[in-house]
């Protein structure tokens, strides 16, 4: 495509009815759902058999489930700008809880029976390696076969974190059941033992397995987003080594060092890593919001949406206000139209950013086109509040355009130009006259 003259809107891609190359993956997600159901049944039965008490099984499952809403909610909070499909998030959890935990248990048991390794060495040298590899295999699966699911570091963090949550759930059931039955420590059993182990694992360290796996997730995310070939090959193995090292340090502090060493490792290594992880996640989330604003600014240049729409599409508080306003003016249909429009604008914005950075590929162009088609279809029913003048902060404008010109990525030739959306401001906010319908 030739460079667009200054001041002229760049072209808009055609909008196909379906994305190219997208095959039906429902069978895979259905298999994960069935596995999760069977695993939940098996876990409940295992807890009952280990504790030999219905009350003990209920206590074990309650303690194992209690931290999950907080931990999962933390990852969903990070993932608000461009949410991953719920089915894939559930698949990540199921992989950790079923496949990674099950395979790791088999390997650890086999190594213990086939070798003369003491428990301390098994927990420090063997378990971290096979557990981080089995957990990280889900990320490799996404990276190799479902590449569109991981397009940056944040996606790697989200999926790795949820795999870790699932793994921790199953492992906690084993620990809490063993504590209740006395198998973990013969001199300490019953509800008191279970609650004691829960305080250590479920209260003070509910994020540990997620934290281990996130190091590999960052490596996978870097590999998915970088243009440097050497970094694409180096980042994942380095991330895996960091995951294994963190896990080994955690286990070794308990098995070899005792309580004092554990507290030192916990206070000097894992608390700083946890706080640093929170800060890193907040930075990624803030950057994602800025990327969306920058992409929509470029979309405004192309005539894909009106500049006054940007605050109502990018800021969570304003998005809620827009849906509330639409509900007050037009009821549930108007609210649903605004919600659908906001989702489409967000997805279009992130896909457009990837295309402009040369990382979208053919499917990225098709995604932009598909979301533009959705925007066009729902726009007649969209009612937004009156415009507000909010200048986004921290968005670099180079050469009069967010991405500069020419950008790294471009849309295919032969696509039609975009046109202004045709909004005008009325008494009840942004409304549309019958003769001024939107055109894309």
Q: What is the pLDDT of residues 122-178, one digit of tens each?
A: 888 899 999 999 999 999 999 888 877 888 888 899 999 999 999 999 899 888 888
Residue 177 belongs to a domain: yes
Could you say which of 255, 290, 325 is where a domain stops?
Answer: 290
Same domain for 395 and 266: no
Residue 3 belongs to a domain: no
C-alpha to C-alpha distance for 58 and 269, rounded to whole angstroms: 34
**25-29, 153-157, 294-298, 331-335: segment of lowest average pLDDT:** 25-29
* Mean pLDDT along residues 26-54: 64
Report the SS3 class of residue 430. strand
Choice between 213 and 265, residue whose per-residue pLDDT is larger: 213
Same domain for 331 and 251: no
pLDDT score of 100: 92
**26-35, 116-125, 236-245, 256-265: segment of lowest average pLDDT:** 26-35
Same domain for 276 and 331: no
Residue 369 belongs to a domain: yes
Asked whether the beta carbons of 370 and 377 are under 8 A apart, the reply is: no
Same domain for 377 and 268: no
Residue 89 belongs to a domain: yes
What is the pLDDT confidence band of residue 31, given thresholds at 50, 70 and 90?
low
Report the SS3 class of residue 326. helix
- Residue 261 burial (CB count, 10 A): 15
- What is the chain's length? 440
Same domain for 346 and 284: no
Same domain for 308 and 285: no
The bridge status of strand 424-426 relative to strand 429-431 is antiparallel
**257-266, 333-342, 364-373, 401-410: segment of lowest average pLDDT:** 401-410
Query: 213: closest CA among 115, 138, 143, 127?
Result: 138
Same domain for 59 and 206: yes
Task: Render 221-274 in DSSP notation, one character per residue.
Answer: HHHHH-S-HHHHHHHHHHHHHHHHHHHHHHHHIIIIIHHHHHHHHIIIIIHHHH
Query: 142: closest CA among 85, 79, 207, 189?
Result: 85
Same domain for 359 and 233: no
pLDDT score of 206: 87
Same domain for 284 and 350: no
pLDDT score of 179: 84
- Considering its fold, how many domains does the chain have in total? 2
Same domain for 308 and 278: no
Please check the confidence at residue 345 and state whether its pLDDT lies above 50: yes
Query: 368: closest CA among 4, 11, 14?
Result: 14
| Secondary structure, 3-state, 360-427 | CHHHHHHHHHHHHHHHHHHHHHCCECCCCCCCCCCCCCECCECCCCCCCCCCCCCCCECCCCCCEEEC
Residue 433 belongs to a domain: no
**36-45, 80-89, 143-152: segment of lowest average pLDDT:** 36-45
Model confidence pLDDT, tens digit, residues 197-214: 888 888 888 888 999 999
Range of the domain at 360: 302-410
Percent with pLDDT over 90 in the chain: 24
pLDDT score of 420: 35
Residue 92 belongs to a domain: yes
pLDDT score of 150: 83
Query: 312: closest CA among 350, 345, 288?
Result: 345
Could you say which of 236, 259, 290 is where a domain stops?
Answer: 290
Choice between 164 and 267, residue whose per-residue pLDDT is larger: 164
**13-27, 353-367, 388-402: segment of lowest average pLDDT:** 13-27
pLDDT score of 266: 83
Q: Write the DSSP symbol of residue 431.
A: E
pLDDT score of 408: 47
Same domain for 170 and 48: yes
Residue 25 belongs to a domain: no
Same domain for 351 and 212: no
CA atoms within 13 A on the CB side of 160: 32
Asked whether the beta carbons of 292 and 81 are under 8 A apart, the reply is: yes
* Mean pLDDT along residues 94-123: 88
Please check the confidence at residue 390 and state whether its pLDDT lies above 70: no
pLDDT score of 137: 94
Choice between 83 and 322, residue whose per-residue pLDDT is larger: 322
Report the SS3 class of residue 434. coil
pLDDT score of 90: 86
Residue 261 belongs to a domain: yes
Please check the confidence at residue 305 and state whether its pLDDT lies above 90: no
**Rounded alpha-carbon distances, angstroms, from residue 81 to 77, 289, 402:** 9, 7, 19
Task: Render 53-72 in DSSP notation, one character per residue.
Answer: SHHHHHHHHHHHHTTHHHHH
Report the SS3 class of residue 11. strand
pLDDT score of 183: 73
What is the pLDDT confidence band of residue 391, given thresholds at 50, 70 and 90?
low
What is the pLDDT confidence band of residue 15, given thresholds at 50, 70 and 90?
very low
**Across-strand partners of 417?**
11
C-alpha to C-alpha distance for 158 and 72, rounded to whole angstroms: 9
Could you say which of 290, 313, 348 is where a domain stops?
Answer: 290
């Amino acid at each position: 495509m030739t460079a667009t003259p200054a001041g002229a809107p760049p072209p808009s891609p055609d909008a196909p009815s379906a994305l190219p190359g997208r095959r039906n993956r429902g069978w895979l997600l259905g298999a994960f759902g069935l596995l999760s159901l069977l695993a939940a049944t098996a876990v409940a039965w295992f807890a009952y058999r280990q504790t030999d008490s219905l009350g003990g099984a209920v206590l074990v499952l309650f303690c194992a489930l209690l931290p999950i809403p907080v931990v999962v909610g933390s990852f969903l909070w990070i993932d608000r700008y461009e949410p991953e499909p719920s089915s894939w998030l559930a698949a990540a959890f199921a992989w950790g809880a079923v496949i990674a935990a099950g395979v790791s248990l088999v390997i650890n048991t086999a190594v213990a029976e086939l070798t003369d390794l003491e428990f301390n060495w098994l927990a420090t040298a063997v378990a971290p390696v096979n557990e981080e590899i089995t957990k990280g295999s889900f990320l490799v699966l996404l990276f190799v076969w479902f590449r569109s699911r991981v397009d940056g570091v944040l996606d790697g963090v989200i999926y790795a974190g949820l795999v870790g949550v699932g793994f921790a759930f199953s492992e906690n059931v084993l620990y809490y059941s063993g504590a209740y039955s006395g198998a973990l420590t013969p001199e300490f059993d019953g509800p008191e033992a279970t609650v004691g182990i829960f305080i250590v694992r479920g209260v003070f360290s509910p994020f540990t397995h997620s934290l281990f796996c996130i190091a590999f997730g960052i490596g996978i995310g870097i590999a998915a987003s970088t243009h440097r070939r050497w970094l694409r090959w180096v980042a994942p193995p380095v991330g895996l080594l960091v995951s294994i090292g963190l896990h080994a340090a955690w286990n070794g502090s308990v098995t070899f060092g005792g309580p004092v060493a554990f507290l030192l490792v916990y206070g000097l290594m894992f608390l700083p890593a946890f706080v640093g992880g929170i800060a890193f996640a907040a930075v990624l989330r803030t950057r994602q919001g800025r990327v969306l604003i920058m992409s929509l600014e470029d979309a405004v240049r192309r005539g894909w949406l009106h500049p006054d729409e940007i605050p109502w599409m990018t800021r969570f508080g304003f998005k809620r206000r827009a849906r509330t306003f639409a509900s007050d003016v037009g009821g549930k249909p108007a609210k649903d139209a605004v919600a659908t429009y906001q989702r489409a604008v967000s997805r279009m914005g992130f896909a457009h950013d990837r295309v402009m950075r040369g990382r979208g590929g053919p499917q990225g162009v098709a995604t932009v086109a598909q979301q533009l088609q959705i925007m066009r279809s729902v726009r007649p029913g969209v009612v937004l509040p009156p415009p507000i003048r909010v200048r986004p902060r921290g968005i670099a404008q180079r050469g009069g355009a967010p991405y500069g010109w020419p950008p790294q990525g471009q849309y295919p030739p032969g696509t039609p130009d975009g046109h202004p959306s045709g909004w005008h401001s009325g008494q009840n906010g942004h409304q549309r006259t019958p003769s001024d319908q939107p055109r894309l």
